[in-house]
Amino acid sequence: MNYQTTALRRALAADYAIGLMPATARRRFDALLLEDPVLRVELGHWQAALASLTGTLPERPVPDHVWAGIKARVEPQVLHMPAKKPFWMSFRVLAAACAVVVAVLVGVLYQRDIGAEYNATLVAANQQPALQVQAFGDHLQVEPLTLAAVEPTRALELWAIAAGGKPVSLGLVPSSGKGRIQLSQEQQALLAGPVTLAVSLEPQGGSPTGQPTGPVLYQGALASR
Amino acid sequence: MNAQAGLPSAYRAQSRRPRSRAWRSPISTHDADPLRPLLAQCALGNRQAFETLYRSVSPRLHGVAYRFMGRSDLAEEVLQEAFVRIWYNASRYEAHLAAPMTWMVNITRNLAIDQLRKHREQPLADGQQDALLDDSPGAHEQLDNEREARALNRCLDTLDGMQRQSITVAYFQGLSCSELADHLAAPLGSVKSWIRRGMERLRRCLES
């Protein structure tokens, strides 16, 4: 249908204003109105003219309950909490208590087990992971993965090498492989920066010179978690 | 309420009725209509303004709703729904398209007609049906009482009886053309032509 014909547009606006249109035609016209400001003005004229049909209707007093009904619909709903609901309340308290307990437990476990600040996986020359090192505040936790067997007269010594610096001994890897290495203040400070960890083969008791004397078996970078 | 008391009394005389200013006088956005700022405040979420608006226009819109519904309970339902819609749609009111009262009358009428159509689809008990149909002579009498110097009524007077009646009945009952034909016991073609010609003549009259 050609909606651009003036006569037709007028007639349609009139029909719409009176309310003669069936639902489908009304929806189509609604769509037209959205994109046609001139049509909206035309319709506005009709609606104003027809609304004056109601101009001489007598006013009617309105009972109070109508305003109460309107207020209930337009005012934001206040969340209504029943004054007493023992079961529900106790459940809420219990739930809150459980949440606190869980939070504390998680905090403790985190501190204990997965609270490592840094870790490193040291690998052999063939890139085989050999030793897992976790750094905590004042100690290292080492765990062998595929550590080579060492003669009783030898020891594995762990070194930290800062970029451009000399290796600093962190101590001997426990003979069982798994264990804890206590760190001094200086060692802790060293590990705060980017360092490479290395393990060298040394005489029993560790390097006599303070620097690695044997071959470096494993190494890897210490990364923050 | 203070806000209500503060509403200019001139408002009642001036803008209680939607004035027929179709075509001849474009609606000015600088209109002194006191309902305009109230609607603007409603659009901003001002409940105080909404209550003032309600106190000012609800008796008139109630009269409109009652004219359509013919029953107090149904009229009150329509009125309540109309004000809820006015509150939530206040920001969509377009001042250049309609005077505030015209806009609110239209909202009320649209809701009333929706209800009437719903009731027509679900036939009512006999008594209710009578109550609804009862207002067809009312439309006629209403028109006789409306012979005031208002533009629309002056123009309606220039229409043939059937043109006038079909437009008025259609307006107040929200009938489709075929329902209107049944209601007036007239052929569909005739009803369509009464409406079409009646509206054209109305328009020419209002434009003059």
The domain locations on chain B are 1-133, 136-208
Q: What is the pLDDT of residue A79?
A: 55
Give the confidence band of A66 by pLDDT, cuts at 50, 70, 90. very high
Residue B134's pLDDT is 43
Give the three-state DSSP class for A171.
Answer: strand
CB–CB of B17 and A52 under 8 A? yes
CA distance from start to end of chain B: 44
pLDDT at A91 over 80: no
Q: What is the CATH number of domain B136-208?
A: 1.10.10.10
B22 → closest Cβ in A48, A65, A75? A48
pLDDT at A84: 54
Please indicate whether, in this complex, the C-beta atoms of B97 and A40 are within 8 angstroms of each other: yes
pLDDT of residue B23: 60
Q: What is the pLDDT of residue B140?
A: 44
Cα separation, B71 vs A202, in Å, equals 105
- Contact of A23 with chain B, judged by CB distance below 8 Å, is answered with no
Tell me, what's the pLDDT at B39?
94
Give alpha helix (H) positions in chain A. Answer: 6-18, 23-35, 37-51, 64-74, 86-112, 185-192
Residue A48 in contact with partner chain B when CB distance is under 8 A = yes
Residues 73-92 of A with CB under 8 A from B: 73-75
Name the 3-class secondary structure at B184: helix
Beta-carbon separation of B171 and A50 below 8 A: yes
Q: Does B79 touch chain A (CB under 8 A)?
A: yes
- In this complex, do A20 and B175 lie within 8 Å of one another by their Cβ atoms? yes
% pLDDT > 70, chain A: 86
pLDDT of residue B79: 97
Interface with B, mutate which of A56, A57, A74 (most B CBs under 10 A): A57
Q: Is the pLDDT of residue B135 over 60?
A: no
Fold that domain A118-224 belongs to in CATH: Immunoglobulin-like (2.60.40)
Which residues 19-58 in chain B show a CB within 8 A of chain A?
19-23, 27, 47, 50-51, 54, 58
A54, A59, A66, A75: best to mutate for the B interface, most B CBs within 10 A: A54
SS (H, E, C) B73-129: HHHHHHHHHHHHHHHHHHHHCCCCCCCHHHHHHHHHHHHHHHHHHHHHHCCCCHHHH
Entry pTM: 0.55
Q: Are A67 and B50 within 8 A, CB to CB?
A: no
At A205, which amino acid appears? G
Domains B1-133 and B136-208 share a fold: no
Least confident of A90-99, A151-160, A176-185, B189-198: A90-99
Task: Tell me the CATH architecture of domain B1-133.
Answer: Orthogonal Bundle (1.10)
Q: Whole-number mean pLDDT of chain B?
A: 77
**Helix runs in chain B, H state only:** 2-5, 10-15, 35-43, 47-69, 72-89, 100-121, 126-133, 135-145, 151-157, 161-173, 177-184, 188-207
pLDDT of residue A49: 84
CB contact under 8 A, A18 and B171: yes
Rounded CA separation A43/A35 (Å): 13
Rounded to 5°, the CA angle A71-A73-A77 comes to: 95
To the nearest whole number, what is the mean pLDDT of chain A? Answer: 81
Count the alpha carbons within 13 Å of B26 in the hemisphere toward its beta carbon: 6
Structure tokens that stand for A114 in this block: 């997965």
| Best CA proximity match to B101, nearest among B5, B19, B9, B13 | B19
User: Tens digits of per-residue pLDDT, A17-60?
Assistant: 988 887 788 889 989 888 888 899 989 988 888 888 888 889 99
Confidence check: pLDDT of B180 > 80? yes
B contact residues 188-207, partner A, Cβ 8 Å cutoff: 195-196, 199-200, 202-203, 206
Q: What is the dihedral of CA B64, B65, B71, B76, to 10 degrees?
A: -130
The whole-number average pLDDT for the span A166-192 is: 84
**Distance linking the first and last C-alpha atoms of chain A:** 70
B102 reaches A (C-beta below 8 A): yes
Domain locations in chain A as residue ranges: 6-59+68-73, 83-115, 118-224
Average pLDDT over residues A65-87: 73
| pLDDT one-digit tens code per residue, B83-120 | 999 999 999 898 888 899 999 999 999 999 989 888 87
Does residue A214 or residue B101 have the better pLDDT? B101
Q: How far is CA A150 from CA A147, A202, A207, B98, B126, in A?
A: 9, 10, 15, 96, 106
Average pLDDT over residues A53-82: 83
Residue A86, token pair as written in the block: 């023992």
Query: Is the pLDDT confidence value at A100 over 60?
Result: yes
Among the residue ranges B64-78, B109-123, B159-173, the one predicted with the least confidence is B109-123
CA–CA separation, B128 vs A150, rounded Å?
104
Interface test with A, best of B64, B81, B140 (most A CBs within 10 A): B64
Q: Are A225 and A135 in contact (CB under 8 A)?
A: no
Q: Is the pLDDT of residue A198 over 80?
A: yes
Q: pLDDT category, B81, cuts 50, 70, 90?
A: very high
pLDDT-based confidence at B129, cuts 50/70/90?
Answer: very low
Task: For B127, list phi and psi in degrees, rounded to 5.
Answer: -60, -40
**pLDDT attached to residue A114:** 47
Tokens 């007028």: give the residue.
A10
CA atoms within 13 A on the CB side of B192: 7
Answer whether residue B3 shows pLDDT above 50: no
Lowest-confidence segment of A42-56, A92-106, B138-152, B184-198 by average pLDDT: B138-152
At how many degrees (to 10) do helices B100-121 and B126-133 cross?
140
The single-letter code of the amino acid at A212 is P
Cβ neighbours around A126 below 10 Å, total: 6
A66 touches chain B (CB under 8 A): yes
- pLDDT, greater one: A165 or B28: A165
pLDDT 10s digits, A103-136: 877 766 665 544 567 778 888 877 788 888 888 8
Query: By CB neighbour count within 10 A (0-12 exposed, 13-18 middle, 19+ buried), where does B206 fall?
Result: buried
Question: Which chain A residues have a beta carbon less than 8 Å from that of B13?
Answer: none
What are the phi and psi torsion angles at A191 (to 5°)?
-75, -10
pLDDT recorded at residue B155: 80
CA distance A76 to chain B (A): 11
3-state SS assignment for residue B149: coil
Per-residue model confidence (pLDDT) at position B31: 55
* Mean pLDDT, residues B39-45 taken together: 92
Of B112, B53, B59, B55, nearest to B82 by C-alpha is B112
Q: Look at residue A69 in the predicted model and tell me its pLDDT.
A: 94
Confidence of residue B13 (pLDDT cuts 50, 70, 90): very low
pLDDT over threshold 70, residue A178: yes
Instruction: Report residue B4 as tokens.
Output: 């209500």
Whether A224 has a pLDDT exceeding 80, the answer reads: no
Nearest CA among B29, B49, B203 for reference residue B99: B29
Tokens (6 digits) for A170: 């962190």
Q: Give the residue from B58, B165, B182 with the most A CB atoms within 10 Å of its CB, the best one to mutate.
A: B58
